[in-house]
Amino acid sequence: MPHNSRLLLPPAGVAIVDEHGDGHAKDMLPQFESHLESRGGGDHSDDEEAHDRVREGVVVLLGTLARHMDPADPKARLSGVLQCCT
């Protein structure tokens, strides 16, 4: 992916989650969790590096999504902690 795209995608993702998180948090959360549970792209270091960048973005999106979740939900608290760590 071109370097400029890598810079533009995280803020775009945050904007999407901010806009639609209230109504779609329950749909988004399993998608983000599934990606975090998946393994990287095999033996190639380029694949691993790309997977790590995507995982970093997913962590940021989880933190953003946590703002739209019930604060009493344990997953919302965990997502907030993950966002602080990125």
Q: Which two tokens stand for residue 26?
A: 């329950």
pLDDT at 41: 57
For 40-57, the pLDDT digits (tens) are 655 566 788 888 888 999
Confidence of residue 70 (pLDDT cuts 50, 70, 90): confident
Q: Residues 6 or more apart from 28 whose CB is under 8 A from it?
A: 17, 20, 21, 61, 65
Note whether 59 and 14 are within 8 A (CB): no
Task: Say if residue 8's pLDDT is above 60.
Answer: yes
Q: Which two tokens stand for residue 32?
A: 């983000």
Q: How far is 80 from 74, CA to CA, in rounded Å?
A: 10
Cα 32 to the chain's mean position, in Å? 6
